[in-house]
Amino acid sequence: MHRWTLDLHSGRTNERPLDDVSTEYPRVAEHRTGLHNGFVYTTTFSLQATPDHSEILRYDLDDDGSVTRHRLPRGHTCGEPVFVGRSAHAGEDVEASIGEDEGVVLSWVHDRAADSSYLAILDATDLTAEPLAEVHVPRRVPNGFHGTWVSSD
């Protein structure tokens, strides 16, 4: 994971590594696209025949790229992590009252031993915690499945 900083006034760019871990599928909160992003979510997705484990990572860009990891069980491979922000309550100003990382991270997970899949739902503010929920589905979801969250609001 590398951080690129673009200075729009001078035209200069700056690149620096945040981590030496190989990651895939970096995502930011969709509503923050094109704006300052405090957090990036990514995964150590791997198609190796026998991965030891996969992890979902959260880089805190406002804290010099510090990383928090959610380690999946041995043999479980995760796909693209998608951040879904907490919805505002009626009359609540979203920008003023809801932190950028308040919500959940969704990722499809493949359990290789069982050849089954589930949707892992993680607390975005505490990736080290156990999943908030797992939604098991009757068919395996292909590795590398991409998706996005579209609110009905």
- CA dist 39 and 32 (Å) reads 10
pLDDT at 134: 97
**8 or 91: which carries more pLDDT confidence?**
8
Q: What is the pLDDT of residues 135-152, one digit of tens each?
A: 999 988 887 777 666 666
Q: Is the pLDDT of residue 51 over 60?
A: no
Q: What pLDDT score does 86 carry?
A: 80
pLDDT of 23: 85
pLDDT of residue 45: 64
Confirm if 120 and 87 have CB atoms less than 8 A apart: no
Distance from C-alpha of 100 to C-alpha of 84, rounded to nearest angstrom: 10
The token duo for 30 is: 């969709």
> What is the identity of the amino acid at 57?
L
CB 78 within 8 A of CB 146: no
Q: Among candidates 13, 16, 62, which has minimal Cα distance to 36? A: 62
pLDDT tens-digit readout, 3-37 = 888 899 999 999 988 888 888 888 888 877 888 88
pLDDT over 80 at 125, yes or no: yes
Which residue would you say has higher pLDDT here, 45 or 7? 7
What pLDDT, on the 0 to 100 scale, is given for residue 91?
54
Per-domain residue ranges of the chain: 20-136
- Pick from 149, 3, 150: nearest CA to 80: 149
- pLDDT of residue 123 exceeding 60: yes
Secondary structure of residue 72 in the 3-state scheme: coil
Mean pLDDT across the chain: 84
Question: Residue 126 pLDDT > 90, yes or no?
Answer: yes
CB-hemisphere CA count at 13 Å for 66?
A: 4
Its pTM stands at 0.81
